[in-house]
Amino acid sequence: MTHALTRLLRRCLGAALPLALTLAALPAMAGSALSAWRLSRDGVLELRTSPAASLQAFYEEGRGVVGPRVWVDLPGAPQRTRSVIGNGVVRQVRVGRPNDGTTRLVVEFQPGTRLDPSNLRLVGTGVDRWKLEFGTAVAGVQPIGEGDLEAAAAPWRPVQPTWGSWQPSQQPSGAAVSDSSLPSVPRGRFTVVIDPGHGGPDPGAVGINGLRETDVVLDVALQVAQLLQSKGVRVLLTRTTEVDVDLPPRVALANNSGADLFLSIHANALSLDRPDVNGIETFYFESSRSRSLAQAVQNQMLAVSPGSPDRGARPGRFFVIRRTVMPSALAEMGFVTGSLDAPRLADAGFRRRMAVAITAGLLQALGANP
């Protein structure tokens, strides 16, 4: 049922940041979305925020006697401001109030520090947890001369939030279908965003014998990601664990990633009183490429679920397919309330076959040849 994200100055900095800078509680942050932060010993800036807070990260190039700065803006203003003296390449960390509605946390680096803004990443690790990774391309402090302070204000460059790519792990147990027949694509040419529906406190539909939609779709989504990556596709997932991710961040991840395809994976439901209702369906919004994607995924899912009614690839207006800018589809793998579909969705072997089928549909939509 369809309802309604660290690397940082790692060992390449050597002795930089030998001390941890910590504000574990920040009790005076009432009204601010920022509830706590710390700069860890290995240089990772970790943030704790109010759930589903909207964050923006920015970069300003240093010049002359002014070092580069990276800062994060959050909703709500702190009741007080403060700064903590840094160490090594970090000059200081400040919590400020640029206006009455914003909290700004600034990491200011020493003059001469080299940051590559293309490597900057603001990574959501949970509904209220974030990490800011500056990347590893830091050359260290270089000798500099007297600079022109007036020229220090380089243009601000926004850093788009990202939730990172999923890394393949051990093959799930109970795999019943080989992926050897899946075609490959040139490695790195294509990016696909996989969106496991629901999560965390939102289990989605709950069906026969307590079968939860979130458990089914996350298992299948992780396997699809693994299969796609093994065939050369770069994969991003909107979630990889049981966390609740709102719909706009799911869309933002897809739209900011330059992805070629987006697929949201769900399981359907009607009522426990209607176990006779079963079937597979896939939704798309408007575009012919989205329709082709939906049809490819629909056909492949039907092939591994004999007897399950074909409810079609058809138009839908779900937020995640309506607001994404690339070809997008939303797949419903069957009914957790259906007497035919539910036992299948509860079976690890069937979920593996479904993952292979969805992967095949995605690769077909990317133009891969069997």
Answer yes or no: 61 catalytic.
Answer: no
d(CA 250, CA 258): 14
Three-state secondary structure call for residue 200: coil
Of 364, 329, 337, 3, residue with least CA distance to 185? 364
Which residue in 60, 133, 213, 332 is the catalytic one? 332
d(CA 352, CA 182): 14
User: In this structure, are residues 365 and 287 in contact, taking their beta carbons and an 8 Å threshold?
Assistant: no
For residue 240, the number of C-alpha atoms closer than 13 Å in the C-beta half-sphere is: 19
Distance of CA 221 to the CA centre of its chain: 13
Phi-psi region of 88 (alpha: psi -120 to 50; beta: other; left: phi over 0): left
Q: Which helix (H) or strand (E) holds 361?
A: helix 348-365
Strands (E), the chain: 21-23, 34-39, 45-49, 56-60, 69-75, 82-85, 90-99, 102-109, 121-126, 129-133, 157-159, 161-162, 191-196, 234-237, 261-268, 280-284, 310-315, 328-335
d(CA 351, CA 345): 6
Q: Could you list the active site residues?
A: 332
